[in-house]
Amino acid sequence: MKVLDSGDTAWLLISAALVLVMTPALAFFYGGMVRRKNVLSTLNLSFITIALISVQWVLYGYSLAFGPDKGGVIGGLAFLGLAGVGTPSSAYAPTVPHLAFAAFQMMFAIITPALITGAFVERVSFKAFILFTLLWATFVYDPVCHWVWASGGLLTRIGVLDFAGGTVVHITAGFSALAFAYAIGPRSGFGHTSFEPNNIPYSVLGAGLLWMGWFGFNGGSALAANGIATQALVTTNTAAAAACLVWMLLSWLDNKPSVLGIVTGAVVGMVAITPGAGFVTPLAAIAIGGIGSAISYYAIKLIKGHRWVDESLDVFACHGLGGLWGALATGLFASTAVNSAGRDGLFYGKSGQLLVQAAGALAAIVPAMLITFGIAKLLARTTGLRVSTGAEQVGLDISEHGERAYP
Amino acid sequence: MTKKIEAIIREERLGDVKEALRAIGIMGLNVFEVKGRGRQGGITLSGRGGPYQVDLLPKLQVNIVLSDHNVDAVIETIRKAAYTGEVGDGIIFVYPVEQVVRIRTGEVNREALMYPNDIDSK
């Protein structure tokens, strides 16, 4: 067993804090986009996820995700209550305490269900949401996380590359968001009322904090304070920047460059680079971020423009499609010259990785959508999925929380 | 004769009220955010120290200046669109108006209140 390295451990602990702050940042990113009467409710959906998943992870989530593999599918119960997860290191991250690795991973488990909330803001019942989050974490996040990142997980076995969670986090959340939006139905007035963002400055602030936090999300996923972590930090920043500029240009061509769009572009770029951050070059990151931005931009135009579904805050377009593009782009741009622990992609002579990435994405998309839709429909039938029309009209802050954001 | 309608309505009914007014040909209006107290008696909110009573609630005041002969139709339209049946639906006041002048053109009174597809052309 390798000796614990204080530099690696310090970086991982800091990264855990950076990834944690991404969830309140997300709360504000989303909060600014909803109507005034639903601000507190929207902030709370993200915030309460921190509490719910922090406990779930300690009790059994970490065990299901990273416990010793059972058939490639799940981790089992060896680490229930984090038993045996302490100061000595694990094979996952040989130079840091096992508990530090578990804590870092917890922050990913937290933000993933928080991402989905954007699909069902302004109408979901708080009670149904709590149940959904716990069920989704247990039946979607923990298994998919196991398949992609646990040793022996079935997607690890076929060689899927996911540096920091393009498949585990963004694809699962984005496609689940789409399924949930279909299950819950549109907001009352969708299609003929304009829903104006109540506080775009919140969204700008949230995006800025997400950018900083993402250095922990991608940089920390190197699980060491080394060259790969540095690579990931730089590719993350580059992809965000390229994506931000592309979105600005596209939105400028269409009309005026919207500030909300500009900050969304930056977020999308970071989504796209997440699966490949430690496997690609900064030059590749420009392409990955830029192309990802264009894909999400036009997806939103199509989906919102034609009103196919009220997936309220475009989680599918940004995270689902952004993550999918990122996963495939990793199959194009990954290079063992950058990271010898990775693979080579199509542009470095190996066509196989692209197919592996596609298979990995599909393996996450299908169960995520089916299970999410199933849980949502089950909740609709039992506790009810959304609030009453009257409650929705008054706003969830008052009807679900008995509070006003701005008296 | 010109009149002004002041309609105090629930915030969440504004969309329906505007839509209903547009449908009968009333486009010109303005909206104030107000806080008020009437029969509703406020609501109870939850704070960190326990529940507390708030008796001034946010409402919207919709102002419309229009010709006398359209007042009844507009009042009926607003009542139907703003109605929920719960205490707190609001109240409507009608005032006489001395003079109306359109800034851009200098038109006065009847001409100042007219525009394409308005209620008097239907």
Q: Do B51 and A398 touch (CB under 8 A)?
A: no
Q: What are the residues whose beta carbons fall under 8 Å from the beta carbon of A276, sequence distance 6 or more?
A: A161, A163, A166, A235, A284, A288, A326, A329, A330, A333, A334
Q: Is B105 on the interface with A (CB under 8 A)?
A: no
pLDDT at B42 over 60: yes
Check residue A255 and give its pLDDT.
93
> If DSSP codes are grouped into helix, strand and coil, which group holds residue A119?
helix
Per cent of chain A over pLDDT 90 is 95
Q: What is the pLDDT of residues A121-158, one digit of tens each?
A: 999 999 999 999 999 999 999 999 999 999 999 999 99
pTM of the model: 0.93
- From the list B11, B19, B45, which residue is nearest A403 (CB)? B45
Confidence of residue B3 (pLDDT cuts 50, 70, 90): very high
Q: What is the pLDDT of residues A231-251, one digit of tens each?
A: 999 999 999 999 999 999 999
Tokens encoding B13: 């009914």
Mean pLDDT to the nearest integer, B74-89: 94
Mean pLDDT to the nearest integer, A171-176: 98
Q: Closest Cα partner for A243 from A190, A191, A192, A286?
A: A286
* Chain B neighbors of A407, CB-CB under 8 A: 54
pLDDT at B24 over 60: yes
- From the list A189, A402, A407, which residue is nearest B46 (CB)? A402
Eight-class DSSP state of A349: T
**CATH 3.30.70.120 matches B2-121:** yes
Name beta bridge partners: A103. Answer: none
Q: Do A394 and B84 touch (CB under 8 A)?
A: no
Beta pairing class for B2-9 and B90-97: antiparallel
Q: Is B43 on the interface with A (CB under 8 A)?
A: yes
Confidence of residue B51 (pLDDT cuts 50, 70, 90): confident
Per cent of chain A over pLDDT 70 is 100
What number is the ipTM of this complex? 0.83
Cβ pair A73, A82 in contact under 8 A: no
Check residue A11 and give its pLDDT.
98
Check residue B121 and give its pLDDT.
78
pLDDT at A211 over 80: yes
Chain B residue with CA closest to A195: the answer is B15
Check residue A194 and give its pLDDT.
79
Could you tell me the domains of chain A?
6-401 (1.10.3430.10)
Check residue B110 and give its pLDDT.
85
Chain B residue with CA closest to A402: the answer is B45
Q: Is B54 on the interface with A (CB under 8 A)?
A: yes
Distance CA A394, CA B3 (A): 31
Q: Is B87 on the interface with A (CB under 8 A)?
A: no
Check residue B53 and give its pLDDT.
87
Q: What integer best gives the mean pLDDT of chain A?
A: 96
Cβ pair B57, B43 in contact under 8 A: yes
> In Å, how far are A230, A388, A397, B62 from B11, measured between CA atoms?
52, 17, 14, 10
Check residue B44 and give its pLDDT.
86
Check residue A1 and give its pLDDT.
55
Mean pLDDT to the nearest integer, B75-101: 95
Per cent of chain B over pLDDT 90 is 63
Check residue A334 and give its pLDDT.
96
Q: Is B55 on the interface with A (CB under 8 A)?
A: no
* Chain B neighbors of A192, CB-CB under 8 A: 19
- From the list A393, A401, A407, which residue is nearest B12 (CB)? A393
* Chain B neighbors of A403, CB-CB under 8 A: 45-47
Distance CA A44, CA A38 (A): 10
